[in-house]
């Protein structure tokens, strides 16, 4: 358990250092917007609070998690240029038609494009971050 906690702390610290190095900061407005989007996605303030209670998250911890997510997204968007082709969108639609009952490709194209872009960004970021973590000087006395 201690190793997991240490790894999380080391990763968070490294992320903050890499964000600073790349002039990435998260404003209060950006954080507020991310929280509002999450709130809407879950079905409102009560649903969000119920989720936080179920997970055992305080409001402060939740806000830190949201800030980390925004930092990762902004850093990935700055470092990586991702392209998703119309063929990839069409293939995803065809392979997952059950997700879009009674909807045509044109109706969901932007949502699919956004999701595929986010997936690719996350994959590239994860690979890059693991490389950066491998280069970092992290000392553990566990």
Question: pLDDT tens digits, residue range 30-56?
Answer: 999 999 999 998 899 999 999 999 999
Please write the tens of the pLDDT for every residue from 85-121.
Answer: 999 999 999 999 899 889 999 999 999 999 999 999 9
What pLDDT was estimated at residue 28? 95
- Other beta carbons within 10 angstroms of residue 66's beta carbon come to 19
By C-alpha distance, which of 28, 41, 38, 27 is closest to 62? 38
Positive or negative: CA dihedral 13, 61, 24, 79: positive
Confidence of residue 137 (pLDDT cuts 50, 70, 90): confident
As a whole number, the mean pLDDT across the chain is 92
CB 84 within 8 A of CB 52: no
């Amino acid at each position: 358990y201690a190793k997991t906690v240490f790894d999380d702390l080391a990763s968070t610290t490294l992320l903050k250092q890499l964000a600073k190095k790349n002039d990435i900061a998260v404003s209060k407005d950006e954080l507020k917007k991310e929280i509002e989007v999450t709130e809407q996605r879950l079905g409102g303030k009560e649903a969000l609070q119920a989720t936080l209670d179920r997970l055992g998250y305080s409001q402060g911890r939740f806000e830190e998690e949201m800030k980390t997510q925004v930092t990762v997204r902004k850093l990935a968007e700055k470092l990586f240029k991702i392209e998703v082709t119309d063929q990839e969108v069409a293939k995803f639609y065809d392979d997952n038609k059950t997700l879009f009952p009674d909807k045509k490709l044109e109706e969901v194209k932007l949502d699919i494009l956004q999701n595929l872009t986010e997936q690719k960004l996350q994959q590239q970021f994860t690979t890059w971050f693991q490389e950066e973590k491998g280069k970092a000087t992290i000392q553990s006395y566990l």
